Amino acid sequence: MTTPAIFPHTAALARLDAGDFADLPAELVDTPPKREALHALLKASEAVHRAAVSTTQVADALRRDQKFVRPGPPSPHLVRLRQQQATARQATNQARQAFIVAADAWVRVCGVSVPARKSLEGFARDWIETTLSA
């Protein structure tokens, strides 16, 4: 699965930033705590998206450049790419943790029930896709 370079819900996030709630479902933005929770959820989702794009780009560069490596100690370029990959993975993990915290706050504020046998992260991600893609 490839990650698109542009965050797919930029428009919804921009509307929340601008205070324009007309195109968003009324039950999601009828109170300030709900708006704040939704805004935090979308910001965290955007951070996860950025981290995923960064991780993918570094992994692609590393895969490309490791093809023709000679035996022996790695070149400084490959060492730098591996360090970038480790940094990108760490950023991805931190972004996912922040997303889970934001999703938990959103579920509590909005009173949404997460289905059994479904992770909070997966449920929130699917909810964002189905609700805000329209």
Give the start-to-end residue ranges of the domains of the chain: 10-37+47-132
Mean pLDDT per 10-residue segment, the chain (134 residues): 73 82 77 89 94 93 87 90 94 96 93 90 91 72
Which among 95, 99, 91, 92 has a CA at the least distance from the CA of 40? 99
Find out whether 9 and 115 touch, Cβ atoms under 8 Å.
no
Instruction: Note the pTM of the prediction, 2 decimals.
Output: 0.84
Find out whether 16 and 42 touch, Cβ atoms under 8 Å.
yes
Predicted local distance difference test score (pLDDT) of residue 19: 81
Predicted local distance difference test score (pLDDT) of residue 105: 94
Through-space distance between the first and last CA atoms of the chain, rounded to whole angstroms: 22
Distance (Å, whole) CA 20 – CA 119: 31
Which among 74, 49, 21 has a CA at the least distance from the CA of 125? 49
Predicted local distance difference test score (pLDDT) of residue 4: 66
Which among 47, 44, 50 has a CA at the least distance from the CA of 102? 44
Distance (Å, whole) CA 68 – CA 71: 10
